[in-house]
Amino acid sequence: MKVVLRNLTKKFPGRDKKNKVDVIAVNDFDFEIPDGKLIGLLGPSGCGKSTTLNLISGLEKPTSGQVFFGEEDVTGLPPEHRGIGLVFQNYALYPHLTVRQNILFPLENLKGKDKLSKAEMLEKAMDAARLVQIDELMERRPGELSGGQQQRVAIARALVKRPRVLLLDEPLSNLDARLRLQTREEIKRIQKETGITTIFVTHDQEEAMSISDMIVVMKDGMVQQIGRPQEVYDSPANLFVAKFLGTPPVNVFEGQVKDGWLTIGKDAVLPVKGAAEGPVYAGIRPEGFLLRKGGAFGCELSGVEVMGRDISVVCANSASLSPAIRAIIGSENMAEVSMDARQVRFDLKPGKVFLFDRKTEERIEFDASAISRL
């Protein structure tokens, strides 16, 4: 089921006694969520992710605008008539009911023509439990399950009525790192198997990037960028998006475009054909540095960090906005650095360098294909 948001806005009255300015939690959202895909709503805490989800579920009413499921305008429909499944961070299971009873619960409330026989209900509950692989645990109570298992029960309960749209609000936040990794793969698998349009809210960029077909990056109630995760990573619309995606984060420098070159400090580091002359922010992804003896860009070496497979060269530069610059270097390239050196020099991969306007922080395009030797 396709989900369409049309000029969707939600304002909350200001809570501050002196300052009664409205909070615009969701500001004019206008986009389509394609049928059968998994979409990640991604942004820092307070950017309006839960509010967006609540507008789609019907738990909140919009100040203006509409929500469509397919061609149907559902803006006026209460949540129970929208055909949605909801999963929250805190599982929200009934502690005194068994797993089976928890999963059966939504079915037992069906009325009229939707009413099912006991046998039908049990079969559907078992199907949902098998899908999330908890069919062995049906007689336990939530208190006898791990966090990951509890969240699977919550997902089974959300799926048992075969919702048109599955909505998940930070479903993995209560799980430890290993379970989080495992459960997010599970969610991806379940989504693929069922083909149910799924909207997944998270503040964790890695989580959103790893499982989403499409991500919506948000800040302060505004959509910043929509696209496939790799597209957004490779081609961020603005400095915020560039900084929000990627670990280690993008390195940001104050730079200048001068005579067709990006200049950082005294170094002309990269030709940037097509970019207007003047001050810019330059973002360089950690994997965009190549250690070279006579490289264009000099930094002071602070140390080397080995993190499993990756080697980060940590260095400093007075034009950098943060004290530590991290460059991820392939081990074959490490021979180029002598650990007693005070300085390291890099060439830059043009596709990993972004320019941003100093005022608007919007991305400035340049012709990266002009450089052939890298």
Binding site for Mg ion (CB under 5 A): 50
Cα–Cα dist 208/42, whole Å: 7
57 binds ligand ADP (CB under 6 A): no
Q: Which of 4, 5, 25, 241 binds ligand ADP (CB under 6 A)?
A: 25
Q: Which does 51 bind (CB under 5 to 8 A by kind): ligand ADP, Mg ion, none?
A: ligand ADP
User: Pairing mode, if any, of strands 343-348 and 297-307?
Assistant: antiparallel
For residue 27, what is the enclosing H or E element?
strand 23-33
Closer CB to Mg ion, 203 or 349, in the complex? 203
Question: What residue type is assigned to position 182 of the chain?
Answer: Q
Question: Which 8-state DSSP code applies to residue 82?
Answer: S
Work out whether 9 is an interface residue with ligand ADP (CB under 6 A).
Answer: no
Closer to ligand ADP by Cβ: residue 244 or 297 = 244
103: left (phi over 0), alpha (psi -120 to 50) or beta: alpha
Query: 247: closest CA among 288, 285, 296?
Result: 285
Q: Is 105 exposed, middle or buried (0-12, 13-18, 19+ CB in 10 A)?
A: middle
Q: Which is nearer to Mg ion, 50 or 224 (CB)?
A: 50
Instruction: Kindly give the interhelix angle for 147-159 and 177-194, rounded to the nearest 10 degrees.
Output: 20
Considering beta carbons, is residue 46 or 249 the nearer one to ligand ADP? 46
46 binds, options ligand ADP, Mg ion, none, Cβ within 5 to 8 A by partner type: ligand ADP
Distances (CA, A) of 54 to 71, 78, 86, 87, 250: 20, 11, 10, 12, 32
Confirm or reject binding of residue 28 to ligand ADP (CB under 6 A).
no
**Candidates 48-56, 133-141, 319-327, 328-336; binding stretch for ligand ADP (CB under 6 A):** 48-56
Nearest to 57 by CA among 121, 8, 115: 8
The span from the CA of 148 to the CA of 91, in Å, is 10
Q: Minimum distance from CB of 219 to Mg ion (Å)?
A: 14
Q: Which stretch binds ligand ADP (CB under 6 A): 45-53, 75-83, 124-132, 346-354?
A: 45-53
Nearest-approach distance from CB 26 to ligand ADP, in angstroms: 7
Find the shortest distance in angstroms from Cβ 48 to ligand ADP. Answer: 4
48 binds ligand ADP (CB under 6 A): yes
**Residue 23 touches which member of ligand ADP, Mg ion, none, C-beta under 5-8 Å by kind:** ligand ADP
Asked whether position 49 contacts ligand ADP by CB under 6 A, the answer is: yes
**Residue 51 contacts ligand ADP per CB under 6 A:** yes
Give whole-number Cα distances, 359 to 40, 172, 244, 264, in Å: 29, 37, 19, 18
By CB under 6 A, tell whether 23 contacts ligand ADP.
Answer: yes
The site for ligand ADP (CB under 6 A) is made up of 12, 23, 25, 43, 45-51
